[in-house]
Amino acid sequence: MLVLPIPTIVALVLGAFLIRIAISGERAPFLMALLAACALQSLIVSLRQHYGIGALLPLQPVTATFVPPLTWLAFQTASFRPFSLPRDLMHLAAPAFAAFCVVFAPGTLDTVVPAIFVLYGLAILVKLHRSGDDLPLARLEAGRLPARIWGGIGLALILSALSDALIALAIMTGQTGLPPVIVSVFSSAALLAIGLLSISPNAMGETEAESPPQSPHPSEEDAHLVQRLDALLQTDTLYLDPALTLARLARRLHVPAKQLSSAINLVSGENVSRYINRHRIHHACRALEDGANVTEAMLSSGFNTKSNFNREFRRITGTTPREWRPEAGNQR
């Protein structure tokens, strides 16, 4: 019976996903590059740990340090801004420094490689915290799910560094047989988590030019901008499109995405996703009052998933869609 090591299975799974999405053409380049890097790293771990190809030992830390910067670039281009060569070229410093350490300071690799993973993981979490989970290029229908997905990826980067600490502990306690197992299990789990989370539909955004930073202070301009947004939504009912994004709304109003997000936060006290979902739920209520069933009301109002629809419906109306129908009938 053929038994494959865990890293080999992970590499095959990620490779299969990569081929499938490459054929479909549904993903952004950096998400595909990230998936490829995770698959390659898992394959290298397998070949070195389980098939004894020692020549890959100097290569493994270098290829590993491609994963964190690619994760960061995939996060940025899927959530906030397009790729910028002058700004983003600096991220090649991570694998370049790892290659330098392989040649001139191999003893530092046990510190350098996990540090790179931790730093990039923290950078993602800090960026999410500062943005308040408002990702301009993410679909508004998904609510906070895109931010949670990228938060999970950031945590996976940080937790992958834990394997190095466990390896050091195993060596200190004389458990010389444990390091290969730890590398296989932890690296495979981290790479699989990063790869699979990155291919979620809610991790991908649209391409949009970056917006300049805006003043956080409330003003009459904020109220006027929200009034313009409401007028646009009433005229064009853009909120009925499940693929609607903050960036698209900002384009229609000819303002930076950050300015629109800030104005909505200050005027309504809600984030952009909740603000748009309020319009969607009001539309769904009217559809239910007109006799539509719950599924019809959900789909006609810009929601794709019942979990999001039910959660937002209860938040705004205080009841469920099924309970709303008889109440609406009694009111007429």
Please determine, for residue 162, whether its predicted confidence score (pLDDT) is greater than 90. Answer: no
**Mean pLDDT throughout 303-318?**
87
Average pLDDT over residues 311-320: 88
pLDDT of residue 195: 63
Confidence of residue 330 (pLDDT cuts 50, 70, 90): very low
pLDDT at 319 > cutoff 50? yes
pLDDT band, very low/low/confident/very high, at 2 (cuts 50, 70, 90):
low
Residue 1 confidence class, pLDDT cut points 50, 70, 90: very low
- Residue pair 73/42 in contact (Cβ under 8 Å)? The answer is no
Task: Give residue 13's identity as a one-letter amino acid code.
Answer: V
Per residue in 18-46, pLDDT tens?
A: 887 777 665 568 888 888 898 898 888 88
Q: Which residues of 205-227 are buried (b: 16+ CB within 10 A; e: fewer)?
A: beebeebeebeeeeeeebeebbe
Q: What is the mean pLDDT of the chain?
A: 81
In angstroms, the CA 299 to CA 305 distance is 9
Q: Which structure tokens are listed for 309?
A: 């629809």
Q: Tell me if 67 sits within 8 A of 44, measured CB to CB.
A: no
Given CA atoms 37, 39, 44, 49 in this order, what sign does their dihedral have? positive
Tens digits of per-residue pLDDT, 192-214? 677 656 566 555 544 443 343 44
